[in-house]
Amino acid sequence: MADALLPPEFSDLEPFAKEWCLASEPERYSKRLASTMDEMQAFYDAIFPRAEEAIVYLDKFPLHDLPDDAHRLLQLLYSLILVSFAVEIWRQPYIPDTGTASFELKLEPVP
Amino acid sequence: MQQSPKRAPKQYPKPPEGTWTEHYPELGTAPVSYESSISPEFYELEREAIFKRAWLNVGRVEQLRRKGGFFTKELGVARTSLIVVRGMDDEIRVFHNVCRHRGNKLVWTDHPAEEISGTCRQFACKYHGWTYDLDGRCAFVLQEGEFFGIDKAAYGLVSVHCEVWQGFIFVNLAKQPTQTLTEFLGPMITAIDYPFEKLTERYYYRGDIRSNWKVFLDAFQEFYHPPILHGHQNPVMSNPEYKQQGFYTMHFQIDGPHRVGSTSGGAGGLLPPEMYNPIERVMRSGLFGPWAPSEIVTNELAPGLNPGNKKHWGLDSFQIFPNFAIVFWENGWYLTYHYWPMAHNRLLFEANAYFAPPRNVRERLAQQLGIATIKEYALQDCGTLEATQMGLESRVVSAFPLGDQEIMCRHLNKVVNDWVRDYQRSRAEV
């Protein structure tokens, strides 16, 4: 695929790449809050079973010299982490009983 | 006759007095008032009595790696903004962020109330171009001859007392602090000698929360609430044993205005698989952080940690008066919390997690799950403590019972009241 976002080994995950490869935690968290549980369940069901394989694949590269497609695969795993709380624990996008409180990640390492 | 709490399970022995609280008789055991957390007048007193007299941590030396490196720190509680800067002589200095000419805030970009950081050789005022060297000296006054015999040497930035302990930069806003930083921190805290400089992978959270700073802090200095408030977050937390018997802290210690609580660890990865959420099993991480120990973990625990010398030690939560906490985790990473009051019923909450730089993607992901977990927990606390603030502000109840597991809350409440009373007394004497 000429316009593939992910490494060829993970081409089956392409349908999720455009929406879920996000650069920062605030973007990923906003995406979680803006998604339905059906959308997140589909994302989780697709990514989770491939997570271990993706980690093994990514660890072939130096962390600070990931090719672009590998970096996006890593971002997909970051999104999986945030989505997992909604899917595995809360069964809803937001954390129960949090009201209007905000708690935002202002600084995070790259990649 | 007053009854003492029932005996704790034998794996959590208490001091000879029978309880942790009675081991420190000055704390008393009576129900406690939270008037100090709902009164605007008391908040005004705290600003002067505590935040303008105690040593406050404003950051770490790694935030100022190069000569000329600086950051600003907004201290709304003291109605000031600070410039923290590493000079050309490598000395770290702190100044009030105010131009001596006409009081303009000196260092800021775009939004005057927002903190910034960067590197520079001089500070230049946006208003009339007065400049200051990194050591605070006034270096340039535009049209100096138009002024009436101005002596630039008398117009340097107003400096703030600053001392560094273990890479943590502390300030004291008093004209003349009554204690050095080392004296203030006392033996329990200064016993800590930890390789902070090796844990440079930093994640920084901040939240704007509608509760008093002490009401909020209290939730982070007792382990009585986690099995209930956070009981659904993972199978360990929903362990029926915790729900029925509660959770016991292994060790409490108080030294001056500071305190520590130590608990058992997360047994990273060693429990049966059903005790972990699926994502935790894949990422090998969770509430206690990465399951794999970081490179700083050796057979010898860093000096000052695990002050109770407990066998199954997992974490220390050091609460450094007034508003700073360091939490050390067994697998070689640490968290800091800062509780910055904004009003009697509002605070800015900062959490920083520091890890060893990850050597590969697997280590990075384990850290990511650790910090994502912190957010899930912290947001539950944030929502609940806004509710607590509302409950307290109703003033329907005026005294609240605190259990032995809440000794650290009782201690903070007392220290705050003591400092305010001491300040009022010193003012009355003048």
What is the residue-averaged pLDDT of chain B? 94
- Quick one: pLDDT band at residue B3, thresholds 50, 70, 90? low
Q: Tell me the pLDDT tens digit for each residue of B192-208.
A: 999 999 999 999 999 99
Domain limits, CATH 3.90.380.10, in chain B: 21-36+191-429
User: N- to C-terminal Cα distance for chain A?
Assistant: 25
Distance separating alpha carbons of residues B288 and B412, to the nearest angstrom: 25
Contacts with B289 from chain A: Cβ below 8 Å: none
Q: Please compute the mean of the pLDDT values over residues A75-98 and round it to a whole number.
A: 96
Within 10 Å of residue A17's Cβ, how many Cβ atoms?
18
Q: Please compute the mean of the pLDDT values over residues B262-290 and round it to a whole number.
A: 88
Residue A65 contacts B where some CB pair is shorter than 8 Å: no
What local confidence, expressed as pLDDT, does residue B265 receive? Answer: 81
Nearest-by-Cβ selection for A55 from B205, B206, B362: B362
State how far residue B238 is from chain A, nearest Cα, in angstroms: 12
CA dihedral for B93, B96, B102, B105, sign (positive or negative): positive
- Quick one: pLDDT band at residue A20, thresholds 50, 70, 90? very high
Distance separating alpha carbons of residues A60 and B101, to the nearest angstrom: 58
Phi, then psi, of B198 in degrees rounded to 5: -90, -15
Judge: B361–A108 Cβ closer than 8 Å, yes or no.
Answer: no
Contacts with B380 from chain A: Cβ below 8 Å: 95-98
Judge: B203–A48 Cβ closer than 8 Å, yes or no.
Answer: no
What's the DSSP call for residue A18? H
State how far residue B387 is from chain A, nearest Cα, in angstroms: 9
Q: Tell me the pLDDT tens digit for each residue of B33-55.
A: 999 999 999 999 999 999 999 99
Q: Tell me the pLDDT tens digit for each residue of B362-392.
A: 999 999 999 999 999 999 888 889 999 999 9
pLDDT at A1 over 70: no
Nearest-by-Cβ selection for A78 from B208, B360, B368: B368
Mean pLDDT is lowest, of A34-48, A69-83, B9-23, for: B9-23
What's the Rg (C-alpha) of chain B? 23
What local confidence, expressed as pLDDT, does residue A2 receive? Answer: 62
Q: Tell me the pLDDT tens digit for each residue of B123-148.
A: 999 999 999 999 999 999 999 999 99
pLDDT at B236 over 90: no
Alpha helices in chain A (DSSP H): 14-20, 25-34, 37-47, 51-58, 68-84
pLDDT at B178 over 90: yes
What local confidence, expressed as pLDDT, does residue A86 receive? Answer: 97
B266 and B287 Cβ atoms separated by less than 8 Å? yes
Q: What CATH architecture is B21-36+191-429?
A: Alpha-Beta Complex (3.90)
Mean pLDDT is lowest, of A62-76, A85-99, B84-98, for: A85-99
Six-digit token string for B277? 């959420």
Picking from A7, A87, A3, the residue whose alpha carbon sits closest to that of residue A43 is A87
Q: Tell me the pLDDT tens digit for each residue of B342-354.
A: 999 999 999 999 9
Best residue in A77, A78, A80, A81 for a mutation probing chain B (most B CBs within 10 Å): A81
What local confidence, expressed as pLDDT, does residue B67 receive? Answer: 98
Distance separating alpha carbons of residues B377 and B384, to the nearest angstrom: 11
* Chain A residues 2-41 with a CB less than 8 Å from chain B: 25, 29
What local confidence, expressed as pLDDT, does residue B235 receive? Answer: 76
Is A28 strand, coil or helix?
helix
- Quick one: pLDDT band at residue B313, thresholds 50, 70, 90? very high
Nearest-by-Cβ selection for A106 from B204, B233, B379: B204
Q: Token pair 């794996």 is at which residue?
A: B11
Judge: A105–B361 Cβ closer than 8 Å, yes or no.
Answer: no
Q: Tell me the pLDDT tens digit for each residue of B206-227.
A: 999 999 999 999 999 998 888 8
Distance separating alpha carbons of residues A44 and A77, to the nearest angstrom: 10
pLDDT at B231 over 90: no
What is the residue-averaged pLDDT of chain A? 95
Nearest-by-Cβ selection for A88 from B205, B278, B383: B278
B205 and B350 Cβ atoms separated by less than 8 Å? yes
State how far residue A2 is from chain B, nearest Cα, in angstroms: 26
Give the start-to-end residue ranges of the domains of chain A. Answer: 17-90
Q: Please compute the mean of the pLDDT values over residues B244-265 and round it to a whole number.
A: 92
Mean pLDDT is lowest, of A92-101, B15-24, B114-123, for: A92-101
- Quick one: pLDDT band at residue B1, thresholds 50, 70, 90? very low
Q: Tell me the pLDDT tens digit for each residue of B403-419.
A: 999 999 999 999 999 99
**What is the pTM assigned to this prediction?**
0.96
Judge: A104–B207 Cβ closer than 8 Å, yes or no.
Answer: yes
Judge: B205–A51 Cβ closer than 8 Å, yes or no.
Answer: no
State how far residue A43 is from chain B, nearest Cα, in angstroms: 14
Q: Please compute the mean of the pLDDT values over residues A48-72 and round it to a whole number.
A: 98
Q: Please compute the mean of the pLDDT values over residues B276-287 and round it to a whole number.
A: 94
What local confidence, expressed as pLDDT, does residue B272 receive? Answer: 86
Q: Please compute the mean of the pLDDT values over residues B162-177 and round it to a whole number.
A: 98
CATH code for B56-183?
A: 2.102.10.10
Contacts with A55 from chain B: Cβ below 8 Å: 282, 361-362, 365
Q: Quick one: which H or E segment has residue B202?
A: strand B201-209
Q: Please compute the mean of the pLDDT values over residues B393-412 and round it to a whole number.
A: 97
A-chain residue closest to B379, CA distance: A98
Judge: B207–A106 Cβ closer than 8 Å, yes or no.
Answer: no
Which residues of chain B are at the A interface, by a Cβ-Cβ cutoff of 8 Å? 201-210, 232-234, 277-279, 282-283, 349, 351, 358-362, 364-365, 368-369, 371-372, 375-376, 378-380, 382-384, 386-387
State how far residue A20 is from chain B, nearest Cα, in angstroms: 16
